[in-house]
Structure 1
Amino acid sequence: MNVTTAGLIRAAGAAAAAAGAIFIAVQIGHPSFDSYTSETAEWVVRGSAKAVMTVLALAGLTGMYLHQHRKAGVLGLIGYLVFAAAYLAIFSVEIIAVVVLPALVEAQPGFVNDVVIASGGGSPTGDIGALQTWFDVTGVLYLSGGLLFGIALFRTGVLARWAAALLAASTLGTAALAVLPEAFDRPMAVPEGIALIGLGVTLWRTQRRAATAPGAPAGSIQESVVR
């Protein structure tokens, strides 16, 4: 089995689309932020799905950037690095929710709920230490990275511009959740899932077209598509 650059880019497109689908799916019927201690098992399942989603999203974002890194320029590089850092931070948050918090539910239920509430942008009643700073940093990375990377993708015009614009707008729009009721948290996450699906499908299709273009060697994929 030959592993080609274009094949990896196609895989990245599929990963991005899968990440978007998971991101939307986990929002359906999601429990409230103050219910972790009473619905720990469900939180662990959803947190595990989110952790998988972040890994897939990172693979997808990497493929998007590599596919157009020259056109994306400095803005694209900065946007990619910041957004990738945000997803790495989100991954760490989900690992805490899946591995660490369940072990503290019985001994420190108040602390556990405070951590979950803070992770969702709420105001905990108790002190959660450096975790509050980590959540704040994660939020800044997510907002700025999604905005910059979305703008960079829109400017290059290589992938679907509507999806790039939606990515930028949806990540920036999450800042409004700080003043909106919790009921808005789940619906506000859906647009980014749609954006990831759109970008992922477009990325996959660009490689599909390159593979079937006239002059492309049979059974192989042109390496020049990553430029």
Structure 2
Amino acid sequence: MTITSTGLTKAAGVAAAAAGAIFIVVQINHPPMVAASVETTEWVVRSTAKAVMAALALAGITGMYLHTRRRVGWPAWLSLVGYLLFAAGYLAMFATEVIAATVLPTVVGSQPGYVNDVLVSAAGGTPAGDIGGMQTVLNLAGVGYLVGGLTFGIALFRTGILARWAAILLAVGTLGTAALAVLPEGFNRPLAVPVGIALIGLGVSLWRSLDRSPAPTAPVAPVREPAVP
């Protein structure tokens, strides 16, 4: 099996679209962010799905960056900075969801207060106690997701290679999460849907952009002039 850049780029498009679909599905009827929810099988399944989503999204945005990096225009660093921040956000998100699926359910019985504080911080609130390094990871996930998504969305819009409506939706959708600091928890799930739609749109656009690319032309053999007697 031969691995080509075209095949990898198409795989990145599929990964981004799948990540967006998972991101939307896991928001439906999401259980409340309380310690009692952590003890359920549903919590483990949803957290595992979110970890898979973060890994797929990371693969997807990597493909988008590599496919569009030469067309970002001025300033040239915008795409790279946006990608690095967004990637860091998804890496931190992957870590937190792995912890949510594998660690929190095992300690919720003995340390429900700690688990509740982690959940409060993850929802954008202020925990009552010290949650240690988890606070740093959650902060990195939040800043990377918000600032990285905004910057990367602007960079993708500037290139004009992928669907611009999806790039705008990505930028606006990730920026909109900042409003969760002042909005009730009920807004947490609906505000995630636009980003999911944006990832689907960008993933499909990444796949289709390869089909629209002009096929390379074969080199033309030089024509030999007949020798003059």
Q: TM-score, normalised by structure 1?
A: 0.90
Partner of 1:25: 25
Q: Residue type of the partner of 1:204?
A: W
Q: Residue type of the partner of 1:110?
A: G
Contact kept in structure 2, 1:36 and 1:116, CA below 8 Å: no
Give me the whole-angstrom Cα distance separating, in 2, the residues matched to 1:50 and 1:165.
Answer: 23
1:44 and 2:44 equivalent? yes
Partner of 1:200: 203
Contact kept in structure 1, 2:31 and 2:37, CA below 8 Å: no
Partner of 1:67: 67
- Count of residues in correspondence between the two structures: 215
Deviation, 1:129, is 2.2
Contact kept in structure 2, 1:105 and 1:112, CA below 8 Å: yes
Deviation, 1:214, is 5.8
Name the CA shift for 1:157/1:181 in 2 (closer, same or farther; >3 Å). same
Give me the whole-angstrom Cα distance separating, in 2, the residues matched to 1:108 and 1:119.
Answer: 17
Q: Residue type of the partner of 2:20?
A: G
1:152 and 2:173 equivalent? no
Partner of 1:140: 143
Contact kept in structure 2, 1:37 and 1:113, CA below 8 Å: no
Deviation, 1:100, is 1.0
Q: Residue type of the partner of 1:116?
A: L
What does 1:138-217 align with in structure 2 at a 5 Å threshold? 138-210=141-213
Deviation, 1:2, is 2.1
Partner of 2:222: none
Equivalent position SS for 1:147: helix
Contact kept in structure 2, 1:48 and 1:98, CA below 8 Å: yes
Deviation, 1:130, is 2.8
With a CA cutoff of 8 Å and minimum separation of 6, indicate the structure with the bigger relative contact order. 1
User: Structure 1: where are the runs of 5+ without partners?
Assistant: 218-227
Larger radius of gyration: 2
User: Structure 2: where are the runs of 5+ without partners?
Assistant: 219-229
Q: Deviations over 1:142-166 (max 9, x none)?
A: 1110010000000000000000000
- Percentage identity across paired residues of the two chains: 64
Name the CA shift for 1:38/1:147 in 2 (closer, same or farther; >3 Å). closer
Equivalent position SS for 2:103: helix
Give me the whole-angstrom Cα distance separating, in 2, the residues matched to 1:155 and 1:128.
Answer: 40
Give me the whole-angstrom Cα distance separating, in 1, the residues matched to 2:215 and 2:128.
Answer: 64
Q: Residue type of the partner of 2:180?
A: L
Give me the whole-angstrom Cα distance separating, in 1, the residues matched to 2:173 and 2:100.
Answer: 24
Partner of 2:225: none
Instruction: From the two aligned structures, give the one with the greater helix fraction.
Output: 1
Give me the whole-angstrom Cα distance separating, in 2, the residues matched to 1:136 and 1:214.
Answer: 45
Name the CA shift for 1:38/1:23 in 2 (closer, same or farther; >3 Å). closer
Q: Residue type of the partner of 1:202?
A: S
Q: Residue type of the partner of 1:90?
A: M
Contact kept in structure 2, 1:79 and 1:152, CA below 8 Å: yes
Give me the whole-angstrom Cα distance separating, in 1, the residues matched to 2:12 and 2:100.
Answer: 27
Give me the whole-angstrom Cα distance separating, in 2, the residues matched to 1:11 and 1:18.
Answer: 10
Q: Deviations over 1:139-198 (max 9, x none)?
A: 112111001000000000000000000000000010000000000000000000000000
Q: TM-score, normalised by structure 2?
A: 0.89
Equivalent position SS for 1:22: helix
The equivalent position to 1:114 in structure 2, one of 107, 114, 117, is 117
Partner of 2:84: 81
